Structure 1
Amino acid sequence: MKNVYLIAAFLLGYTTSAFAQYKGLDVVKVADSQQLYENENIHIPNIDGYKTLKCDFHTHSIFSDGTIMPEERVWEGNRRGLDAIAITEHIEYRPHSSFIKADHNESYKIAKGVEKNANIIVILGAEITRDKPLGHLNALFLKDANALNVEDPLIAIDNALEQGAFIMWNHPGWPNDTSTIYKVHQELIKQKKIHGVELVNGFEFYPIAFKFCKDHNLTYMGNTDIHGVYNQTYRTDKQYGPMTIVFARERSVEGIKEALFAQRSVVKFGDMLIGSESNLRALVKACLPYKIKSIKGNEAIMEINNKSTLSFYLQLDSKIISILEYGYIEFKVRLDDKIKFTNTFITDNSQLEINITELK
């Protein structure tokens, strides 16, 4: 008990002494408290020739059916360690419109106001919200979301395309738990009016739709579609909130836009990674540089250092090998072996396989 009193007396004396130094001062600014919040929990290295950017292209605020202000959505993205976030309010569904009086660009303008301080790129988007068979589509990189407020959704798509928009087909398995590519989607894809498919949305993903991207050369996308508070929605110490990993020439709106049109993306959802074979291969090679040592005939010892916070699960013959974030591992291989990365998906039944000698 005596020690408690001594500690209390010390703190009281220190506090009194410190506050005494403020006498006569008009303003005291504590600059350190204004520094940006840095979240380094998710680290993914750049791949050759491109910057690796972490993005969420489907979010909502109180300006449609979300529950928080748009600037808070941007700060959430900062705390998640994202590089870019798209504000994609519903065009047709605005349940708070009785007291939120604004056009379809206002939430983006508010979010854009904190872009610099939050150190995150803010993208103007909008969600065309219709029943199936068309379903929901996000138009990204808009100049004026008001142009999408028309009765015919196909005209809304055309109006977005006139602005140079990237069109993403949202959550193909929602709301009836059936991922069907309807005739309207086939026609839009044929006309190059759909550019990507959202394979992961919030807490669900659509394995059959992985093949839609591969078969039709579309961009692999995954997003939160967040409406509530992020930390209340994803209550875990591991960031399971889905994101689209983009390989861009530069960290800018135009850099991200060019990369999406060029299909340079991988979807992250927990430990799952979904993308084209070429993009997954590039990501794995950047994250898992290796060395071959102790070669004896066709056998060798391989050592791998994981340069990322991603986890990888490998199958080598009958062995299952885990390489967790920033992990190091050694194991015996044959030089003509293939490694299957079991947490990667190109389609629902196709996973990335790499020859041992290709990993470097």
Structure 2
Amino acid sequence: MRDSFLKFNLDKSYASIEFEIDRDIDFISINWQNNKEFFSFYLYSPDNKLCAQIIGISEKGTRILSKESTKTSPCLLSLDKIKITKGMWRVDYSVITNTDACSTIIEIKEEKSSDIFYDDEYDLLENLYSDNLEESNEYYTCDFHTHTIFSDGLMTREENNEVAEKQGLDFFIPTDHNIFHYTWPKNSHVKTYPGIEITSSLGHINFLFAEKTPFEEHHANEIEDEEALSQIITEASNYSLVSINHSFMEPWDFKIKDFPLNRVKFMEIINSPTLPSANEAIEKALKAWNYLLNDGYKVVAIGGSDSHLKAGDKFYGSEYPCLLGDPKNFIYTRINSAAYIKEAMIKADVSVTRRDELKLIYTGLERENDGFNGNIKLVAYIMQECFHGSKLNIHWVLDGKVQKVDQCKQSSFESYIDCNYHWIRVDVRDEDGHLYGHSNPIFFNRNKIKHNMIVWKDLLDKMK
């Protein structure tokens, strides 16, 4: 073992530290101890390449950079992909909880070898760009929001795979806080696509099917600045699908008041539904979605389990366990590839439920119907009558108001649509009124409406 390249305390809420490596190296270890924080750590090589991402929540830990990819820790870049190792390196860190910042010690050393191997993994970016176009299903099921031990989750990546398979998912996206997974353990039954949850005091935002992490180009403290975070989100729309997470679940609600509503393309409605505080937050998100739709915004609603716990574990005060795959998204495309899934999501060909399929059938119509007036007949069906012992009800929602309720597996709805702007979707609730699932709406004459709300503050004012 050689002497340390760098050793320091987390004595600020944010800092950028430079240090020099004066020789070629094959192996680096990053170690922390005596930690009582929730901190983020980013290491940049002399050619400014992001080569290590760490979220520190455990009391101690180690991450490894090696010239061999199979010996390099997850969320780190192997040294063979870095052009320059001699020169000035940089560490960016940010303390999120800041309870006793001076207690945490971080040390970067040169080591000789490692006995930990990650040899049964595949490249997530290769999976993202895969052109395997084998047709199979009418739809594919997924979870857009999961966590692992590499941020504050309790499940390993392998356990994520196992639960996703047991839940019958076709794919899922790991969205650890502020870190990006380059590789993932192989699983022949469930696909994994790359993502990241940008986690700030201003809100939590998922970058789905992400081609990179924004921390390749931005400093860690930028996500705490409203203008900078807005810019990061705007840039991310060029390399991912951007979703606002649990937007009204305090204290993790979305707070960028000047954020333009025309950039809100995806939003979680059902998030972490077994959390005791979830029902209230879900209803607020649903109400906000109604306001956005009524104002002419096409916001696609998705769901995320936000799974943090071990399979079978429950939140305190919850009757049922928190499980990856609850809720479940149904993406209506016949090909399980990122390009086709993203295309279906942008079209809003998505429904969300706690378990089995909800389908809205609108034969003879499109998702968007401009220049329309006339009679319509829609059909909705759900694949189960009860959830957790409670019977399910189909609610037909027209322009934000419930027009019809049926307690059955299949329901139809007829109406006359005039030349003005309208939208229709289906919500499914249990006998206690809790939201079990929803479709995304179909739109009529959306081109005829002008927005009254422009920024997120306008929506918050409307919610009051």
TM-score (normalizing by structure 2): 0.44
* Percent of residue pairs identical: 21
Displacement after TM superposition at 1:212 (Å): 5.0
Find the residue that maps to 1:256 and give its secondary structure.
helix
User: Which structure 2 residues correspond to residues 75-224 of structure 1 after superposition, within 5 A?
Assistant: 75-91=162-178, 104-105=179-180, 107-109=181-183, 111=184, 113-115=185-187, 117=188, 119-132=189-202, 135-145=203-213, 146-147=215-216, 149-150=218-219, 151=222, 152-162=228-238, 164-176=239-251, 183-185=257-259, 187=260, 189-190=261-262, 192=263, 194-203=264-273, 204=278, 205=282, 206-212=285-291, 214=293, 215-224=296-305
2:160 counterpart residue number: 73
Residues 1:229 and 2:310 are matched in the alignment = yes
Q: 1:147, 1:156 within 8 Å by CA — same for their partners in 2?
A: no
User: Which residues of structure 1 form unaligned runs of 5+?
Assistant: 1-48, 92-103, 274-278, 284-303, 324-328, 353-360
Question: Which residue in 2 is equivalent to 1:51?
Answer: 138
In structure 1, give the amino acid aligned to 2:192. Answer: V
**Compared CA separation, residues 149 and 62, structure 1 to 2 (3 A):** farther
Unaligned runs of 5+ in 2: 1-135, 223-227, 364-378, 387-391, 397-402, 417-424, 440-464
Q: Distance in 1 between matches of 2:154 and 2:311?
A: 11
In structure 2, give the amino acid aligned to 1:210: W
1:170 counterpart letter in structure 2: N
Q: Deviations over 1:108-163 (max 9, x none)?
A: 51x3x323x2x11211111111223xx1110011122243753232343244233x
| Structure 1 residues 80 and 342: alpha-carbon distance in aligned structure 2, compared to 1, 3 A threshold | closer
Report the AA paired with residue 330 of structure 2.
Answer: I
Residue type of the alignment partner of 2:286: P
Aligned positions, number: 241
Q: Distance in 2 between matches of 1:201 and 1:237?
A: 14
Taking a change above 3 Å as real, the CA distance of residues 250 and 183 of structure 1, as seen in their structure-2 partners, is: same
SS at match of 1:82: coil
Assess, with a 3 A threshold, how the Cα gap between structure 1 residues 72 and 281 changes in structure 2: closer, same or farther: same
2:339 to 238, 254, 265: 254
In structure 1, how many angstroms separate the alpha carbons of the residues matched to 2:330 and 2:244? 17
Cα RMSD (Å): 4.3
Once the two structures are TM-superposed, the CA of residue 230 in structure 1 deviates from its matched residue by 3.1
Q: Go from structure 1 to structure 2 and tell me whether the alpha carbon gap of 1:155 and 1:336 turns closer, same or farther (over 3 Å shift).
A: closer
> What letter is aligned with 1:165?
S
Query: Using the alignment, how far apart are the partners of 1:184 and 1:272 within structure 2?
Result: 37
Counterpart of 1:322 in structure 2 is: 408
Q: Which has the higher strand share?
A: 2
Give yes or no for contact 2:195–2:210 (8 Å, CA) kept in 1: yes
User: CA deviation digits over 1:324-355, x for unaligned, max 9?
Assistant: xxxxx9x9x9x9899x977269xx9xx99xxx
Q: 5 Å matches for 1:265-284? A: 265-269=350-354, 280-281=360-361
Match of 2:328 in 1: 243
Q: Is the 8 A contact 1:130 1:136 kept in 2?
A: yes
Partner of 1:263: 348
Q: Conserved in 1, the CA contact under 8 Å of 2:311 and 2:321?
A: no
Q: In the TM superposition, what is the alpha-carbon distance from 1:62 to its structure 2 partner?
A: 1.0
